[in-house]
Amino acid sequence: MTTGTLAFIILAAISLQVGLFTLTALYRRRALFCAAASVPPATAASTWKGFREFVVQRRVSEDPQGTICSFYLRPVDGRPLPPFKPGQFLTFRLPVDDPAGGRSGSVIRCYSLSDAPHPDYYRVSIKRVPALPGQPVQPPGVASNFFHDRVTEGSRLKVRAPAGHFHLREQDQSPVVLIGGGIGITPMLSMLNRLLESGSPREIWLFYGIRNGREEIMGDHLRSLAERHANFHLYRCYSAPADGETAGLDFQHRGRVDVPLLRATLKPAHYQFYLCGPPAMMESLAPGLEELGIGDIFYESFGPATLARPGATETQSETAAAEISVTFGRSGRQIAWDRQAGSLLEFAEAQGIEVDAGCRAGSCGGCQTPIESGDVVYDQPAVAEVEPGHCLLCITRPKNDLTLAA
């Protein structure tokens, strides 16, 4: 064999190996992408597009002070309900004006499903947001007060299909730690009910942070579950117990849910942590848990929905510094956009353009708008599914001259 032939054979072998490696890597990437993008298997009854009409079948007051109310919903069309993943939420369009702007006579809000999936109803549990004293006084919450004051048994509501990436990982068998602060308990209730109703043998901890028993929701239900299921450990943490409430009897821990408490209570293991609560709780717990390194952490934040914060998220994005014009197709208005304008949602609202909005955080899909021309840049990854050729106004800015169908 000549040196040339030998060199040719070596080169051919190397090329073959590189080719095979590249093909395998591409196949793996595609498989991973498909797995990440997969949604629950769709059946004829599994989902719907846009808003579907539901009727309120029952409402139930859930806490001693009467500030949290559950609403049981059935579809008006009588067709079966698709299952959802415990932890997901529903998006509602309510026929009420949003003083913060948006489309007149319409407000969009998200509410977590608060029960395990059942084929014949969905349940959400909503806390009334009261007016808060201060300078200036903060007005009462629009949607939550609408639910409490105007939604009765027989009321009809427009509802989007269950959505959200914050949900129970059921295929995993590691022990589960559910941490709910205040109304952040709702997705935890869905996960807890699902695990126990399905007879899961997984060890389950629920750390429920509230001030005292007056704020506790579904107290009897939680206590009864803890008595009936040896694998479920209920840990009520009262930061300000009321007179007469006794540690060990009415609650398990005096104080907030924090990392020292979790460290002292949980045996060494690899856990799945699910967190939802007020910003202060999330800000202290999430990094603390990550530092502990004893499991996977999933979290969701409800956040205020209507507070417009123009320019609050000063961009690190690739939006160009040069002048950009944004055209709103419906009104035909063409307006110069600058960095101080904030997200496209804040920009539209500031200009008096009527657009839909809900969570203001890329979760509900409420602000999804078709792009007629131009490009946008996302400030953060979208949680809602975004259709091709559309964008979520609440978490995007224009990259170049843009025409929106809004």
Ligand X SMILES: Cc1cc2nc3c(=O)[nH]c(=O)nc-3n(C[C@H](O)[C@H](O)[C@H](O)COP(=O)(O)OP(=O)(O)OC[C@H]3O[C@@H](n4cnc5c(N)ncnc54)[C@H](O)[C@@H]3O)c2cc1C
Give the interface with ligand X as residue ranges (CB under 6 A).
Answer: 89, 100, 109-112, 124-127, 129, 132, 138-139, 141-145, 183, 186, 302, 304-307, 359, 363
Nearer to ligand X (CB atom), residue 301 or residue 327: 301
- Residue 108 forms beta bridges with which residues? 93
342 vs 326: CA distance, rounded Å:
13
| Burial state string for 289-317 with b = 16 or more CB within 10 A and e = fewer than 16 | beeeebbebbbbbbeebbebeeeeeeeeb
Give the residue with the Cβ less far from ligand FES, 203 or 300.
300
Binding mask 233-272 for ligand FES (x = CB under 6 A): ----------------------------------------
Q: Which stretch binds ligand FES (CB under 6 A): 1-9, 185-193, 229-237, 360-368?
A: 360-368
Residues in region 319-358 near ligand FES by CB under 6 A: 357-358
Choice between 70 and 319, CB closer to ligand X: 70
Nearer to ligand X, 124 or 344 (CB): 124
We find the least distance from the C-beta atom of residue 88 to ligand X, in angstroms, to be: 9
Can you give the length of the chain in residues? 406
Is 204 near ligand FES (CB under 6 A)? no
> Which member of 161, 206, 341, 392 binds ligand FES (CB under 6 A)?
392
The two three-digit tokens of residue 97, written as one number: 């004006």
**What is the DSSP code string of 233-283?**
EEEEEESSPPTT--BTTTBSEES---HHHHHHHSPSS-EEEEEE--HHHHH
Question: For residues 225 and 384, which CB has a smaller minimum distance to ligand X in the complex?
Answer: 384
Please report where in the chains the tokens 């999804």 appear, as a residue.
368
Listed in sequence order, the DSSP H helices in 48-185 are 142-150
Q: For strand 204-210 and strand 271-276, is the pairing parallel, antiparallel, or unpaired?
A: unpaired
Site for ligand FES, rule CB under 6 A:
357-360, 362-367, 384, 392, 394
